[in-house]
């Protein structure tokens, strides 16, 4: 047995090229990672290429997994040092305890080999730019209201968890997180007036996550929250606590694994674990490797996911789920339906955990504090995740340590006490952006306690007192008619055939909808208070009592605007310090009846006495109603050249002669107070079969009964299809516009309906 001389300390000498030419101060760091935390054993600033570091510990107590790395002197976080040292080009070397003992605690340059620092410096210059927006969603209108002045924290986290995929027959699994977790802040930034932010994240932090995801490429898909339709595709009923409309759905059969598949189930069963009590510590890994080898010989892992999920939709649910037309509303390019929402927003109670013997077998060879870890698993709150990715082998039990991720947390002072409160905090694996490339589209939806502020245009000094606009559109005869309708948005389309075919677009009668900022100037420097009065449909005049928030730019905080007991609003000065600028009233029009309004403003001095002459009255029309009805009236079908036959509107099943085209004719009715257009489509197992549309031709063209015939080629598959009908209002939110002429088409309000059809061969 080798004998080593006792030492009083460890001294490390090494050489690294490039320190003198480094544009940033560097240091040498000796550290260890025991899975729970990164421990700094010693560090020393570098001024030359020569490295001399002393550790105040005996060589016999030197950790087994220590390393020395060259990092920027400003780098303090242990996790960042670990991330940088784990990168391919990092200037890092492992320190062998055996070598330290054999050298009596003194390591020389020949014992430590470090890459030149220019490689790590190049890595430090690589930044991953991540931009996004923090917003709050109005539960009534669905509008996204920005959250300004909020502090966005970006964290690098390392997690430990147990994955449990109960066998047999469960298409979902549970994650049991247990401590300790590592969580370190790597970037922070404040959102601007419109809720936007950008941060630069060091590439080596991103690289750590990417490498882990590559290693467990399918497992990461399993951990992603499934949508309602993805759950249905696997034959799993979504959580009816959140989707009561699915309550009457039958429990669906577990979707069988797709063929081809190995004859023996590729899952390590609990009984197999219990039989592994042998001296071979790698027995589980050996069985796992054999099963994975068998699996890979039967399945091409490079196949796309679509190869494994074919024709499952409509199998068990077409007569149950698809009656619920509300699930499919809305279905448009910029909105999502219930089917796109998470199938399991909350946790689902798992079956009872196995006894302690099995957990000890799984944990004993990986963890020193087995009893503590077991206790944490027993009391931890499991998170359900649906199994989506079949080609990869997933054992019944698996242990994952130091799982890296990057998550966001957002804080805001919501009560004005100077202390930040949390308005958003991501859980495990909730990252909502693409790590493979820089992005400007991180969407963070704040919690209901967040304070949001409407976004507005850039500051323009006042030229006159009074109400001058609604949201982004100026009150001007060029844009508004004498009744208060917008003339240039969502105009009619009239087809003229003679003398030359062309489209004529007369003036529109387009109302406003949703949240409207009444914009104006209350004579800053003269008036102290103001009121805004409104008269509905020529009735009695009254004043607004709305309250809302604006963003105080100089204070970097939100300011609550509300009237006093007599309805007076304070004039906020200076006007360029409160965003959105010149907001008189934040009018939530959906709380008011639809119709015509006359609005005016009065100004008052500090004693609440009226001042100045009467200001101009403006008119506006409000309409927040959805199109109604949006209904199917009749469905007919025929084979080419045959007679039309009527089909029921409730669960129609149409039989066709194999190899023959068929025609479907549907009659429908769509009406709205201010109809813009109608869209109808027919889609299903073979994708889109056809579509049609109608645009209103005059301002009073608001109620249409139309027919549409679509040919279904014989080449399309049997299965479930649907007509989707959507009626759209021409009301809009007075935001956007093309340049300044406000001649464009936009959509704010719609209603959809579906008619599902099953096509079968005779």
Please give the pLDDT value at position 719: 83
Among 263-277, 346-360, 581-595, 644-658, where is mean pLDDT lowest? Answer: 263-277
641 φ/ψ sector (left φ>0, alpha ψ -120 to 50, else beta): left
**Three-class SS state of 738:** coil
Is the per-residue pLDDT at 134 higher than 50? yes
Total-model pTM: 0.72
Res 396: pLDDT: 58
Domains in the chain with CATH codes: 10-125 (2.60.40), 466-622 (no CATH), 630-761 (2.60.40.2550)
User: Virtual CA dihedral for 377, 381, 384, 390, nearest 10 degrees?
Assistant: -20
Which residues, in sequence order, are bridge partners of residue 107?
12
CA dihedral 65, 66, 72, 75 (to 10 degrees): 70
The overall average pLDDT reported for the chain is 79
Q: 645-647 and 630-639: which strand pairing?
A: antiparallel
CA 123 to chain centroid, in Å, comes to: 29
Report the alpha-carbon distance of residue 169 to residue 255 in Å, rounded.
9
Which residues does 120 contact at the CB level (< 8 Å), separation at least 6? 70, 71, 84, 87, 89, 90, 91
Cα angle for residues 497, 503, 508 (degrees, 5° grid): 130
Owner of token pair 């020529």:
538
- At residue 553, the pLDDT reads 94
The model's pLDDT over 3-36, given as tens digits with 9 standing for 90+, comes to: 544 556 799 999 998 888 888 889 999 999 876 6
* Beta strand 583-588 pairing with 515-521: antiparallel
- Higher-confidence position of 406 and 538: 538
19-22 long-range contacts, Cβ below 8 Å, gap at least 24? 19/46, 19/47, 19/48, 19/49, 19/70, 19/117, 20/48, 20/49, 21/118, 22/117, 22/121
Helices (H) and strands (E) in the chain, counts: 10, 41
Six token digits for residue 147: 């959250």
Question: What is the average per-residue pLDDT within 145-171?
Answer: 79
Q: Is the pLDDT of residue 391 over 70?
A: no
What is the C-alpha to C-alpha distance for residues 38 and 606, in angstroms, rounded to an integer? 62
**How far apart are alpha carbons 252 and 314 in whole angstroms?**
12
User: Is the pLDDT at 446 greater than 90, yes or no?
Assistant: yes
531 has a pLDDT exceeding 90: yes
Encoded tokens for 169 = 């027959």
Low-confidence winner among 58-62, 383-387, 421-425, 683-687 (lowest mean pLDDT): 383-387
Whether residue 82 contacts residue 33, with contact meaning beta carbons closer than 8 Å, is answered with yes
Please state the rounded mean pLDDT for residues 216-229: 66
More confident residue, 239 or 551: 551
> How far is residue 19's CA from residue 49's CA, in Å, rounded to a whole number?
5
pLDDT of 382 reads 73
pLDDT for 419 beyond 60: yes
Instruction: Please check the confidence at residue 285 and state whether its pLDDT lies above 80.
Output: no
3-state SS of 444-474 is EECCCCCCCCCCCCCCCCCCCCEEEEECCEE
Contact 414, 421 (CB under 8 A): yes
| Least confidently predicted of 75-79, 200-204, 256-260, 588-592 | 256-260
Q: How far apart are CA 606 and CA 129, in angstroms?
A: 49
What is the predicted pLDDT for the residue at 740? 64
Of 382, 384, 439, 433, give the one whose Cα is nearest residue 408: 433
How far is Cα 302 from Cα 134, in angstroms, rounded to an integer?
37
- Smallest CA-to-CA distance from 146 within 554, 443, 520, 434 is with 443
Mean pLDDT of 95-101: 88
Could you tell me which of 721, 653, 717, 654 has the C-alpha nearest to residue 684? 721
Could you tell me what percent of the chain has a pLDDT over 90?
A: 41
CA atoms within 13 A on the CB side of 164: 21
User: In the predicted model, is pLDDT for residue 366 greater than 60?
Assistant: no
Residues 165 and 141 sit within 8 Å (Cβ to Cβ) = no
- Categorize the per-residue pLDDT at 308 as very low, low, confident or very high, splitting at 50, 70 and 90: very low
Q: pLDDT digits over 33-57, tens only?
A: 876 678 899 999 998 999 999 998 8
Q: Is the pLDDT of residue 621 over 60?
A: yes
Residue bearing the bigger pLDDT, 324 or 643: 643
pLDDT, tens digit (0-9, with 9 covering 90-100), for 584-613: 999 999 999 999 999 999 999 999 999 977
DSSP string, 119-176: HHHHHHH-EEEEEEEEEEE-TTT--EEE-TTPEEEEEEEEEEEEEE--TTT-SEEEEE
Q: Which residues pair with 759 in a beta bridge?
A: 654, 719
- Return the structure tokens found at 282: 């790698």
* 340 phi and psi angles, rounded to 5 deg: -95, -5
Cis peptide bond N-terminal to 629, omega within 30: yes
Task: Give the lowest-confidence range in 289-293, 681-685, 689-693.
Answer: 289-293
Which residues are bridge partners to 724 per DSSP?
Answer: 681, 754
Rounded to 10 degrees, what is the CA torsion of 115, 116, 118, 120? Answer: 30
More confident residue, 689 or 401: 689
Question: Per-residue confidence at 298, pLDDT binned at 50, 70, 90?
Answer: very low
The bridge status of strand 127-137 relative to strand 439-445 is: parallel
CA distance linking residue 163 with residue 160, whole number of Å: 10
Most confident of 268-282, 443-457, 508-522, 748-762: 508-522
Q: Is it the case that residue 341 has pLDDT exceeding 60?
A: yes
- Note the pLDDT of residue 221: 61
What count of residues does the chain have? 762
User: Would you state the pLDDT for residue 56?
Assistant: 86
Query: Residue 1 above 50 pLDDT?
Result: no
26 vs 347, higher pLDDT: 26
Position 303 scores a pLDDT of 34
| E strands, 6-150, in order | 10-15, 26-33, 38-46, 50-55, 66-72, 92-95, 106-107, 127-137, 144-146
Query: What integer pLDDT is reported at residue 310 of this predicted model?
Result: 28
With contact defined as beta carbons under 8 Å apart, do 410 and 446 qualify? yes
Q: Give me the pLDDT at residue 242, please.
A: 78
pLDDT for position 482: 96
Instruction: Report pLDDT for 234.
Output: 62
* Residue 152 CB-half CA count within 13 A: 30
- Arithmetic mean of pLDDT, 192-204: 87
Residue 185's Cα: distance from chain center in Å? 21
Q: Which position has the higher pLDDT, 717 or 127? A: 717
**Of the candidates 122, 48, 626, 652, the residue with the CA atom closest to the CA atom of residue 326:** 626
Q: What is the mean pLDDT of residues 444-451?
A: 93
State residue 631's pLDDT score.
96
Is the previous residue joined to 499 through a cis bond, with omega within 30 degrees of 0?
yes
Q: Supply angle C-alpha 448, 130, 735, rounded to 5.
A: 55
For residue 669, pLDDT over 90 is answered with yes
The pLDDT of residue 364:
59
Give the per-residue pLDDT at 375.
Answer: 75
Of 158 and 284, more confident: 158
Residue 400: the pLDDT is 64
What is residue 206's predicted lDDT score, i.e. its pLDDT?
A: 74
Segment 499-524 mean pLDDT: 92
| Phi, psi for residue 221 in degrees, rounded to 5 | -65, -35
Tell me the backbone φ, ψ of residue 494, rounded to 5 degrees: -115, 130
Nearest Cα residue to 103 out of 112, 91, 114, 93: 112
- pLDDT at 288 > cutoff 60: no
């Amino acid at each position: 047995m080798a004998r080593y001389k006792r030492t009083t300390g460890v001294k490390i000498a090494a050489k690294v090229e490039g320190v003198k030419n480094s544009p940033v101060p560097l240091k040498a760091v000796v550290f260890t990672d025991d899975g729970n935390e990164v421990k700094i054993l010693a560090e020393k600033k570098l001024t030359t290429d020569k490295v001399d570091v002393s550790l105040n510990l005996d060589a016999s107590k030197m950790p087994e997994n220590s390393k020395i790395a060259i990092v920027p002197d400003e780098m303090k976080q242990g996790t960042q040092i670990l991330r940088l040292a784990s990168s391919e080009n990092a200037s890092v070397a492992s320190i062998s305890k055996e070598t330290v003992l054999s050298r009596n605690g003194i390591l020389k340059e020949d014992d430590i080999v470090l890459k030149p620092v220019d490689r790590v410096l190049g890595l430090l210059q690589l930044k991953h730019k991540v931009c996004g927006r923090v917003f709050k969603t109005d539960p009534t209108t669905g509008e996204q209201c920005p959250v300004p002045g909020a502090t966005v924290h970006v964290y690098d986290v390392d997690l430990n968890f147990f994955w449990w995929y109960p066998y047999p027959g469960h298409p979902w699994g549970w994650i049991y997180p247990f401590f300790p977790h590592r969580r370190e802040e790597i970037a922070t930034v404040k959102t601007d007036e419109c809720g936007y932010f950008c941060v630069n994240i060091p590439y080596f932090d991103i690289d750590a996550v990417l490498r882990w995801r590559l290693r467990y490429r399918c497992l990461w898909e399993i951990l992603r929250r499934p949508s309602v339709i993805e759950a249905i595709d696997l034959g799993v009923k979504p959580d009816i606590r959140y989707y009561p409309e699915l309550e009457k759905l039958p429990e669906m059969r577990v979707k069988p694994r797709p063929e081809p598949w190995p004859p023996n189930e590729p899952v390590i069963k609990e009984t197999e674990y219990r039989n592994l009590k042998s001296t071979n510590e790698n027995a589980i890994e050996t069985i796992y490797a054999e099963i994975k080898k068998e699996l890979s010989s039967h399945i091409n892992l490079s196949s796309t996911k679509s190869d494994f999920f074919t024709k499952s939709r409509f199998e068990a649910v077409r007569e149950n789920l698809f009656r619920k037309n509300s699930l499919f509303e809305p279905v448009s390019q910029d909105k999502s339906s219930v089917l796109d929402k998470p199938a399991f927003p909350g946790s689902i109670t798992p079956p009872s955990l196995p006894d302690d013997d099995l957990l000890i077998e799984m944990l004993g060879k990986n963890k020193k504090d087995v009893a503590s870890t077991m206790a944490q698993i027993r009391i931890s709150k499991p998170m359900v995740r649906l199994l989506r990715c079949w080609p990869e082998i997933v054992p019944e039990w698996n242990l994952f340590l130091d799982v890296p991720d990057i998550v966001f947390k957002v804080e805001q002072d919501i009560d004005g006490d100077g202390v930040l409160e949390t308005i958003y905090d991501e859980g495990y694996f909730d990252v909502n952006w693409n790590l493979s490339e820089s992005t400007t589209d991180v969407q963070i939806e704040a919690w209901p306690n967040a304070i949001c502020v409407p976004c507005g245009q850039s500051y323009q000094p006042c030229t006159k007192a009074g109400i001058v606009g609604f949201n982004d559109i100026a009150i001007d005869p060029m844009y508004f008619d004498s009744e208060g309708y917008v003339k240039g948005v969502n105009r009619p389309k009239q087809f003229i055939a003679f003398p030359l075919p062309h489209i004529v677009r007369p003036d529109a009668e387009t109302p406003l909808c949703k949240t409207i900022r009444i914009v104006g100037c209350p004579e800053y420097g003269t008036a102290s208070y103001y009121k805004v009065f409104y008269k509905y449909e020529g009735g009695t005049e009254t004043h607004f009592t709305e309250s809302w928030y604006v963003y105080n730019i100089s204070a970097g905080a939100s300011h609550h605007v509300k009237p006093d007991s007599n309805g007076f609003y304070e004039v906020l000065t200076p006007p360029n310090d409160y965003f959105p600028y010149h907001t008189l009233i934040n009018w939530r029009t959906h709380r008011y009846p639809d119709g015509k309004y006359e609005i005016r403003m009065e100004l008052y001095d500090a004693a609440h006495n009226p001042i100045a002459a009467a200001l101009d009255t403006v008119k506006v029309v409000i309409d927040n109603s959805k199109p109604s009805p949006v209904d199917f009236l009749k469905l007919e079908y025929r084979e080419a050249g045959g007679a039309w036959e009527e089909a029921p509107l409730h669960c129609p099943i149409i039989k066709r002669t194999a190899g023959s085209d068929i025609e479907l004719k549907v009659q429908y009715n769509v009406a709205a107070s201010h109809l813009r257009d109608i869209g109808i489509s027919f889609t299903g197992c073979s994708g889109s079969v056809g579509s049609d549309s109608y645009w209103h031709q005059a301002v009073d063209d608001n109620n249409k009964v139309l027919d549409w015939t679509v040919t279904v080629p014989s080449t399309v598959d049997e299965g479930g299809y649907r007509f989707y009908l959507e009626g759209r209002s021409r009301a809009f939110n007075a935001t956007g516009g093309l340049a300044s002429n406000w001649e464009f088409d936009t959509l704010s309000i719609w209603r959809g309906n579906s008619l599902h059809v099953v096509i079968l061969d005779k």
